[in-house]
A and B are shown apart, each in its own frame.
Chain A
Amino acid sequence: MEFNIIATVGTTEAELRPYPGGTTAVVPTDKVRKVYSMILTNTAASANTLTVRIYKGDSIEASFDVIVPATSTMTVVSEVPLLIVPGGRALKAIASAANVLLVMTCRDE
């Protein structure tokens, strides 16, 4: 089924857990987590960089940056997955400065 990840990401790394009720950011080992849309809001007066990290155990296996302009909202929607996280990996994020509000639409398959 589809679900959301909703998080306020600041300068301390945050786990991106399923909403509601998700107790872990780790993708079940027999599934892959596909991300189909992402909304990012930066309320600060200067640009912010959101770094999304994929962990395998304690190690960062992959990461990417998204630059969010000052006081703006970015929406990315795709019919094909924007991001595919393999089973057993954890999805986390950290912002370079102020908070970034993040909403993802996902599906575990």
Chain B
Amino acid sequence: MESAYYDLKAPMRALVLKENMNFALIFPQDVRKRMTFELYFFRVARVAPLERVYLLPEIPPGELRDFNYLGEAGLGSGDDIFKMSEERPFRILHFGIGVWPKNLKVWRQQPTGFTMTAWSRVVPTKAGDPVDYFDGHLSPFEEPTKASESVMWLKGSLYLAFRNDEPISVTPRLRFLGAGYDCWLITDKAIADKMIKGVIPCRFVSVGGLYEGQFTVPDEWKGKGFVYDLSTVQNLVRGG
């Protein structure tokens, strides 16, 4: 699985975790020069397939639909389809987003207000930028890929923006494919450290791209994440 993990076109169905696997969500704390991150470690207790096809309103050629939530009643209307139950603070969704048609570009914000990026730009990326999108070539409707890999948790948020680069009006379709997990939150620092060192296998997931912003987690997680900076990691790898 590890080699596939680095393939942007790896099918999402091959990347979902199974019971008793570990993973960590990586949130930024300081990404300017200190490079400090807060990690929450989980062990997957239960897994169930996740799938949903979401229809967008018709978009004329060349037109942009700015960031908005995916509502049950349409784009930006009704309940957010990713709204999660307060009673399920340890439920995590892990999915890819398949795109139809091929030339529909999709930009993501996670959390809302922070555009997912890997580029280093002085001006924050926005919908319609020539960078930081994925489309139906990279993550096809039939086979969502790692390029669109996303996670969602209670109090997480995900906004999407779209541009139709087909020559005709289209009614785009998105396919969310992956799995939902019931998880145990790992609160033992010694175990977390072993995952950082690589002694215990763990899948690490950078949440929301390389933005620098705020994030919100469930109350049940608070105070149970672990903060790592370079010196801590060096010390651990050294055997500390």
Name A's B-contacting residues (CB within 8 A).
1, 3, 18-23, 27-28, 33, 108
Contacts and interface: CB of A to CB of B under 8 A. Distances in A.
A108 B166 CA distance: 8
B103 A20 contact: no
A18 B165 contact: no
A104 B167 CA distance: 14
Contacts of A3: 166-168
Nearest to A4: B168
B169 interface: yes
Contact of A21 (B102, B103, B165, B168): B168
Contact of B169 (A20, A27, A28, A108): A20
Q: How large is the interface on B (under 10, 10 to 19, 20 to 34, 35 or more residues)?
A: 10 to 19
Sort A-B residue pairs by CB-CB distance and give the 4 closest, nearest first: A21-B169, A18-B167, A18-B168, A1-B101
B82 to A, nearest CB: 28
Contacts of A19: 168
A75 to B, nearest CB: 22
Nearest to A31: B167
Contact of A20 (B62, B101, B165, B168): B168
29 contacts: A1-B101, A1-B102, A1-B103, A1-B168, A1-B170, A3-B166, A3-B167, A18-B167, A18-B168, A19-B168, A20-B168, A20-B169, A21-B58, A21-B60, A21-B168, A21-B169, A22-B61, A22-B167, A22-B168, A23-B60, A23-B61, A23-B62, A27-B167, A28-B165, A28-B167, A33-B167, A108-B103, A108-B166, A108-B167
A55 B168 CA distance: 20
Interface string B154-169: 0000000000011111
Nearest to B100: A1
Nearest to A20: B169
A108 B62 CA distance: 14
A83 to B, nearest CB: 15
Contacts of A18: 61, 167-168
Contacts of B166: 1, 3, 108
Interface string B191-206: 0000000000000000
Nearest to B101: A1
A20 B168 CA distance: 5
B4 to A, nearest CB: 28
A94 to B, nearest CB: 22
A23 B60 CA distance: 9
Interface string B163-201: 001111110000000000000000000000000000000
Given A3-B166, A3-B167, A28-B165, A21 B101 contact: no
A20 B61 CA distance: 9
A33 B103 CA distance: 14
Contacts of B62: 23
